[in-house]
Amino acid sequence: MTKAEIITATRALVNEVSTDTGALLSDTGNLLEFINDAADQVVLDLVTFMPTEFMASENITLIAGTQSYALTNTPLQIWKVEKTISGESPVELEILDPIDLQYHTDVDETEDEPHAVYFIGKTVYFVKKPSAAKTNYAKVWEILGEPSTMATAGPTYIPAIAHRLIVYQAASIISTILGKDPTTYMTLYARKMSMVQRVWAGRFQSQTKFVRSSSRERQGYSLDKSEDRDTGW
């Protein structure tokens, strides 16, 4: 749905159009704010079972002696951080709790290839401090929310199957603001959300789905090309 379609659908649901006498909702004012607020809530509900729809990534180039790097995006969650050395398999870097730093590094200690990271806000810190510059050393995989203002074309990340959820949530917000009972709209929202979740769970029909494994079980490695792969057995 486009932004205009979402606005029209929300107006229809709350039974008000902009030309009604005494209309309370403005397309470019309070109604749009309610819709943006609704989109935020829909993202928070969807991201728990379809996180890859909200996924983005950014590369980080290390600068010798510089430990901290501000992310361009403002993620809801960090999916993982990978070391991405050209010609080698990507390897996940451990994400530390800052309280545990004393077990991983000394003050101002450096290493050629940092083995872990920690986050403070939207800034990533490498452990240990890099001793050399490395282009695109790491890739941060992020879970993002919708932009603060919906684009004319409609939601950026929310898939089409879930666009109507924004309408139901916006109608619920409007009802609450006006002191009305939002139960009807939330009933519609809950039923739609349940069906979206059920359909999405079986999106890939040709393969089984498992709970995601630990990162420690998914570590890759690159073969030393100088080694003889024939063990002689």
pLDDT of 11 higher than 50:
yes
d(CA 132, CA 106): 18
Among residues 86, 91, 92, 93, which one has the least CA distance to residue 125? 93
43-95 pLDDT per residue, tens: 999 999 999 999 999 999 999 999 999 999 999 999 999 999 888 889 999 99
More confident position, 45 or 231: 45
What pLDDT was estimated at residue 211?
A: 65
169-198 pLDDT per residue, tens: 999 999 999 899 999 999 999 999 999 999
d(CA 120, CA 142): 15
Q: Is residue 225 in a domain?
A: no
Q: Say how many domains are in the chain.
A: 2
112-167 pLDDT per residue, tens: 999 999 999 999 999 999 999 999 999 999 999 999 999 999 999 999 999 999 99
Q: Is residue 132 in a domain?
A: yes
Q: Is residue 107 in a domain?
A: yes
* Percent of the chain predicted with pLDDT > 90: 74
Q: Do 71 and 126 reside in the same domain of the chain?
A: yes
Paired strand residues for 58: 140
Please give the average per-residue pLDDT across 1-7, as a whole number.
96
pLDDT class for 224, splitting at 50, 70, 90? Answer: low
Q: Is residue 220 in a domain?
A: no
What pLDDT was estimated at residue 209?
A: 65
pLDDT class for 18, splitting at 50, 70, 90? Answer: confident
Please give the average per-residue pLDDT across 31-43, as a whole number.
96
Q: Is residue 15 in a domain?
A: yes
Q: Is the full-model pTM beyond 0.85?
A: no
91-92: strand order across its sheet: 55-62, 134-143, 77-83, 91-92
Q: Do 61 and 104 reside in the same domain of the chain?
A: yes
Range of the domain at 192: 3-47+146-201
